[in-house]
Amino acid sequence: MCGIVGILSTTEKDTAIYIYDALTILQHRGQDAAGIVTSHKGRFYMRKSNGLVRNAFKTKHMEGLLGDMGIGHVRYPTAGSSSGAEAQPFYVNSPYGIAFAHNGNLTNTEALAKELFEQDLRHINTNSDSEILLNVFAGELAKLEKQRINEKDIFTSITQVHKRVQGAYAVVGMIPGYGIFGFRDPNGIRPLILGKRTTYGGTKYMLASESVALTALGYKVTRDIAPGEGIVIDRKGNVFTQQCSNSVKHSPCIFEFVYFARPDSVIDNISVYKSRLRMGEKLANKIQEEWNDEQIDVVIPIPDTSRVAALQLAQKLGVKYSEGLIKNRYIARTFIMPGQKQRKKSVKQKLSAIGLEFKNKNVLLVDDSIVRGTTSQQIVQMARNAGAKKVFFASAAPAVRYPNVYGIDMASSKEFIAHNKTTSEICHAIGADKLIYQDLQDLIWCVQQGNSDISVFDCSCFNGKYITGDVDKNYLQDIENLRSDTAKQKHGTNENSELICNDVE
């Protein structure tokens, strides 16, 4: 899961500052690397580096990122490694010069890489599927053999991308001297939203992964880019859109609403905040039905993502709500740490318990989900150490039992604590007195209430049903061999490697 931004201004030349601000707002979507590419007088200016946005860009870098349009990216590694060479945006010289940033994960990467080498005669320099996606698009654009392009040519290339590429992808791109563009896969798995801001004498346009990046910077949300749709914004501020796929089935990732997106975002016309409120209410109903013999003295969220659901759950149960766990805000999100050892270390640095809220109480801990169980196990023990009499645990999402192949780092089902375990066995494994999960149909209902036009969500990590229809056991085994924690340790990913193409130093 990554965050992408594209901005074009018809008047101002300091676009990089606004991209920087937008990436900072989207930092929760990836903390591995950050990058910005701008365009000025037909030339690209690039800076990308490992780490957080605030560390990747200093004053000297921002001063060198010239131009009235640009794109940005914050990276969370799934396909590829977490080395600097995988940082985005990517760039190709031919045709026309194209800068490109991608959120998602492709499922036919191996076949595409072979096609690009044998048929398109294009070279791939990294292990990133984003570079493959860029080269597929660039190769299709090159086939038109035109000296000057227009929006129709870009839409033609996007149409061909949809025919060749499978998986999840939301994209922003830029062609110097022409403008910016974006598109979304035919299932709309990953989000992409358009916004507009009128300034003195001109207009700014932004494409971003979440609405909060737009609204926080004074943009008015125009609409979500539709599944399979392409959008082009030229230098004059003309906006062109076209449906580029004949096989559209809107199936957004439900895990965006459970965990990844900020609560103040609206994606596909669904409020993340209200979805999480409904998750808390549904979970409270289930607790009342199944735990009527248990006394709960206090509900404590595991910050930050579970707060909204936990607050509504506590109100529904008529139980005290308390911020009994305090988060160190200078530690990255534990779930998206690149390895299990780092996750274990980070949990201890990330949270501390307020003993007064735990001592001699029956505590209900609420989390958004339980994936590998590392965090849950340590927090349950933290609650016991703080003096809790009983520690109950509630998950606002169902049990994660299957790999996610569309851009979330859940590659190996064997690493999930729910793998081949019943709820009682999972409860024992994390050390809780009782454990309860949200039912999948209730979770779907909670999100679907925000937009009844969406009938299907990607729930593959909960039910093993992959909506692109191309994921089988062999594919799942391949990604486990490539992306599991064990595989990452075996290959010895170097997280401090240098970048090879920084124009702005």
How much of the chain is helix, strand and coil, in % rounded to 5? 35, 25, 40
Quick one: average pLDDT of 185-208? 94
Quick one: average pLDDT of 422-429? 98
Catalytic-labelled residue, pool 2, 244, 446, 461:
2
So what's the pLDDT on residue 498?
31
What is this structure's pTM? 0.92
Mean pLDDT of all residues belonging to the chain? 91
Beta strands in 51-96 (DSSP E): 69-75, 90-92
For residues 308 and 339, the answer to whether their CB atoms sit within 8 Å is: no
Q: What pLDDT, in 10s, does the model give residues 51-70?
A: 999 999 999 999 999 999 99
Other beta carbons within 10 Å of 467: 18
Where residue 258 falls among pLDDT bands split at 50, 70, 90? very high
CATH placement of domain 275-327+337-451: 3.40.50.2020
Architecture of domain 3-250: 4-Layer Sandwich (3.60)
Of 74, 89, 126, 54, nearest to 336 (Cα)? Answer: 74
Q: Is 14's pLDDT higher than 70?
A: yes
- 486 labelled as ligand-binding? no
So what's the pLDDT on residue 490?
58
Of 314, 305, 192, nearest to 257 (Cα)? Answer: 305
Task: Kindly list the domain boundaries of the chain, sorted by start residue.
Answer: 3-250, 275-327+337-451
Q: What pLDDT, in 10s, does the model give residues 332-379?
A: 655 555 555 555 566 778 899 999 999 999 999 999 999 999 899 999
For residues 179 and 234, the answer to whether their CB atoms sit within 8 Å is: yes
Of 467, 333, 343, nearest to 3 (Cα)? Answer: 333
- Distance from C-alpha of 360 to C-alpha of 185, rounded to nearest angstrom: 52
For residues 444 and 270, the answer to whether their CB atoms sit within 8 Å is: no
- Furthest-apart CA atoms within the chain: distance in Å: 75
Q: Is 82's pLDDT higher than 60?
A: no
Beta strand 179-184 pairing with 167-175:
antiparallel
For residues 173 and 137, the answer to whether their CB atoms sit within 8 Å is: yes
Where residue 493 falls among pLDDT bands split at 50, 70, 90? very low
Hey, is 388 helix, strand or coil? coil
Where residue 330 falls among pLDDT bands split at 50, 70, 90? confident
- Distance from C-alpha of 481 to C-alpha of 259, rounded to nearest angstrom: 26
Residue 197, Cβ density class (10 Å: 0-12 exposed, 13-18 middle, ≥19 buried): middle
Q: What pLDDT, in 10s, does the model give residues 444-483?
A: 999 999 999 999 999 999 999 999 999 999 999 988 887 6
Where residue 85 falls among pLDDT bands split at 50, 70, 90? confident
So what's the pLDDT on residue 502?
36
Q: Is 119's pLDDT higher than 70?
A: yes
Quick one: average pLDDT of 116-139? 94
So what's the pLDDT on residue 215?
98
Q: Is 495's pLDDT higher than 50?
A: no
So what's the pLDDT on residue 47?
97
So what's the pLDDT on residue 500?
31
- Distance from C-alpha of 325 to C-alpha of 183, rounded to nearest angstrom: 40
So what's the pLDDT on residue 332?
60
Task: Answer yes or no: 446 catalytic.
Answer: no
Q: Lowest-pLDDT range, 176-180, 239-243, 406-410?
A: 406-410
Quick one: average pLDDT of 194-211? 93
- 234 labelled as ligand-binding? no
- Distance from C-alpha of 377 to C-alpha of 426, rounded to nearest angstrom: 10
Q: Is 109's pLDDT higher than 80?
A: yes
Of 330, 327, 271, nearest to 451 (Cα)? Answer: 271
So what's the pLDDT on residue 496?
33
Q: Is 37's pLDDT higher than 90?
A: yes
